[in-house]
Amino acid sequence: MDTETLLTPNALAKPARRLPSLRSQLSLVLGGLSLAILTLVGGYLGSVATDEIYIAQQAAVRATAQSAAELLATQLRDREREIELLSVAPYLVNGPLDSALVRGTLERRQALHDEFAWLGVAAPDGTVLQASGGMLMGRSVAQRDWFIAAREHVYVGDVHEAKLLATMLPALPNGEPTRFIDFAAPIRDAEGRLRGVVGAHAHWRWVTSLVEGVTRRQHPGSGIDALILDRQGRVLYPEALKLAQAAGKAVLPKPVGGRFEGELVFDGKPYLASEATLQARTHADLGWRIVARQPMEQALRPVRDLRRELVLLGLLAAAALTLAALLLARRISRPVEQLARVAQRVQSERRIPDFPEQPGAQELARLSEAMHAMAGSLLATEQALQQTNTTLEAQVQQRTAELEAANAALEHLATRDPLTGLHNRRSLDARLAEAYALDRRYGAVSGRVHGLLLIDADHFKHINDKFGHPVGDAVLRLLAEVLQASVRVTDVVARFGGEEFAVLLPELAGAQDAVMAAEKIRTAVEAAFFPEVGRLTVSIGVSLASPGDEDLRPLVARADAALYEAKRGGRNAVVLKTADAPT
């Protein structure tokens, strides 16, 4: 294994795409998550609260209408009772109706209830006998509805404009015509005979101020107001709507199901509206209805306020959460970045630097410990591998040298003669084949040929026989040295077999060269001294390669024949045998 790749991060990691940092990814995910949760929760709470507020506003409008209707019904009944009780007062039942006592009582009642504009007692023929402030005294009310009705029973009448009293009472500050609601009751004696009628005109302003009081008290600043409609749906109050309606303008929306309820458009503006009918507690049912209404814009103002607050709170919370996410992301990513830096230092410096001791979380502490241990183990492994590598390289070198030596030894064994160290017969044959091929290729051009000497020790059997075989071997070794020393280094000296040697002479200019080389050998051997044996001679057969030779064999055969002749001719001689010479 290549140890360099062991601690190279790039060798382990895939080529990195340009990814956003862990810190920005964490910030983005945590910030986005908190924003999404906030939006969802805020949206849900906002929607729930919006519904609740809407329902509450509707309830407030409905409660206003009902309260106003309830209050009006009660107040009308009270005023009716007031007049009814007055009609059975003993001084009216028994006494004279035009007495000062009656007048004083009427005026006290008016002082107590300033809603009454006028209180009076009329005779059965309609002549006013006594009245608060003395107004209408002596005048006839015989044609007034209240008088006609009250001759029979207790009466409450619908609102109407003042007739006889209009000129006697101060005009209203807002310029509205003076209007009244009439209360009246018959005065009967003990036998039930009609003695007269007691009547009262209550200011219409008293009625409207009751309604205004309810709307003002119950939901101040809410924009809720109330309308009073009569049985036919005509506006009785407020005056402006009443006038507009009288002028033929469509000031009221069409009631849904005969009732004003829900979201309605009054004069082009949307309102939340609710209707309540006066539950009549008086003798006569006036059939009035109260419609409370609130401009939608004001009804939904709390919703808008809440939404604005929710958005503001949401933004603040999102900012706080994003900040928290950033801090958290930093807290998480910083130790990871530190570990990455440490890992880079391990890789570049090949030593273990200080690891972060408090990485911030249990898992990161474990990761730090694991990296520490891994770095130590990797560095140790790397060193061990380097050591092994060095040892292996040395061993390989040694083994290579041994192998080369073994190969050389094998080569030597295969090509050399074990006794003399000269080329053996096999090696000689190979060299002869090379020389033969070279001559065939270049011989014609260079004009040079190779030659062969076959050298045989004379009477060697005699040496063996006389001195023993080991001495014979020693003689052969020394003879080989003499032969080797007598030729050129380019010449190949080989042991041909037994006591017979051969010399390959490459690139000879002619037969003379070969004969000269053979003579040189012969004389060298003759001159040499062989321990224990003394002198030795050799016979040499010389031959030259011929273009007519088909292979090596003719060359060897000619040299062998020449050697035979040298032996036969008396030994210690050189004989040349060429191709054209007769054998």
Ligand X SMILES: Nc1nc2c(ncn2[C@@H]2O[C@H](COP(=O)(O)OP(=O)(O)OP(=O)(O)O)[C@@H](O)[C@H]2O)c(=O)[nH]1
Hey, which residues are catalytic here?
A: 499
How far apart CA 92 and CA 87 sit, in angstroms, is 7
**Closest residue to ligand X: CB criterion:** 472
257 vs 54, 69, 294, CA distance in Å? 22, 20, 20
Residue 151 or 571 with smaller CB distance to ligand X: 571
Given the complex with ligand X, which of 449 and 503 has the nearer CB atom? 503
Handedness of CA 218, 220, 223, 229 (dihedral sign): positive
Q: At which residue do the structure tokens 């509805």 appear? A: 145
* Beta carbon nearer to ligand X, 261 or 456: 456
CA atoms within 13 A on the CB side of 109: 28
| Tokens 């924003």, located at residue | 35
By CB under 6 A, the residues from 275 to 294 that bind ligand X are none
Residues 49, 272: Cα–Cα separation, whole Å: 18
Sheet strands (E) in 47-150: 116-122, 128-131
3-class SS at 266?
strand
Minimum distance, C-beta of residue 471 to ligand X, in the bound complex (Å): 7
In the complex with ligand X, the residue whose CB is nearer, 54 or 564, is 564
Rounded to 5 degrees, φ, ψ at 165 are -85, -10
Tell me the β-bridge partners of 248.
Answer: none
- The distance of closest approach from Cβ of residue 417 to ligand X in the complex, given in angstroms and rounded to an integer, is 9
Q: Do residues 476 and 420 lie in contact, with contact meaning Cβ atoms separated by under 8 Å?
A: yes
Nearer residue to ligand X within complex by CB, 182 or 500: 500
* Planar angle of CA 270, 276, 280, nearest 5 degrees: 155
Q: Please, what is the minimum distance in Å from the beta carbon of residue 404 to ligand X? A: 31
**CB-hemisphere CA count at 13 Å for 392?**
7
> Distance (Å, rounded) from C-alpha 461 to C-alpha 307?
134
Torsion, CA 403, CA 404, CA 407, CA 412, rounded to 10:
-140
Give the nearer residue to ligand X in terms of CB position, either 335 or 472: 472
Q: Which is nearer to ligand X, 260 or 460 (CB)?
A: 460
What gap in Å lies between CA 372 and CA 118, rounded to an integer? 107
Q: Which is nearer to ligand X, 78 or 526 (CB)?
A: 526
Residues 444-503 close enough to bind ligand X by CB under 6 A: 456-462, 464, 469, 472-473, 476, 498-499
Select from 77, 283, 477, 567 the one that contacts ligand X (CB under 6 A): 567
As a whole number of angstroms, the distance between CA 432 and CA 430 comes to 5
Q: HSE on the CB side for 67, CA within 13 Å?
A: 20
DSSP for 111-132 reads HH-TTEEEEEEE-TTSBEEEEG
Helices (H), 250-300: 296-299
Number of residues that bind ligand X (CB under 6 A): 16
DSSP 8-state code for residue 533: T
Closest distance of CB 460 from ligand X, Å: 4
If 0-12 CB within 10 Å is exposed, 13-18 middle and 19+ buried, where does residue 418 land? exposed
Output the smallest distance, CB 532 to ligand X, in A.
Answer: 12
**Pick 92 or 563: Cβ nearer ligand X:** 563
DSSP state of 439: I
Torsion angle, alpha carbons of 166, 169, 173, 174, to 10: -20
The structure tokens 């015989």 sit at 142
Residues 158-187 that bind ligand X (CB under 6 A): none
> Taking CA 200 as the corner, what is the angle to CA 198 and CA 204, rounded to the nearest 5 degrees?
160
**304 or 459: whose CB is closer to ligand X?**
459
CB of 411 to ligand X, least distance (A): 23
Q: In the complex, what is the shortest distance from the CB of residue 474 to ligand X, in angstroms, rounded to a whole number?
A: 8
Tell me the C-alpha distance between 324 and 332, whole Å.
Answer: 12
Q: Does 267 bind ligand X (CB under 6 A)?
A: no
Min separation Cβ 463 and ligand X, Å: 7
Least Å distance, CB 414 to ligand X, is: 19
Q: Among residue numbers 498 through 537, which ones bind ligand X (CB under 6 A)? A: 498-499
CB 513 to ligand X: min, Å: 26
Question: Can you give the binding site for ligand X, defined by CB under 6 A?
Answer: 456-462, 464, 469, 472-473, 476, 498-499, 567, 571
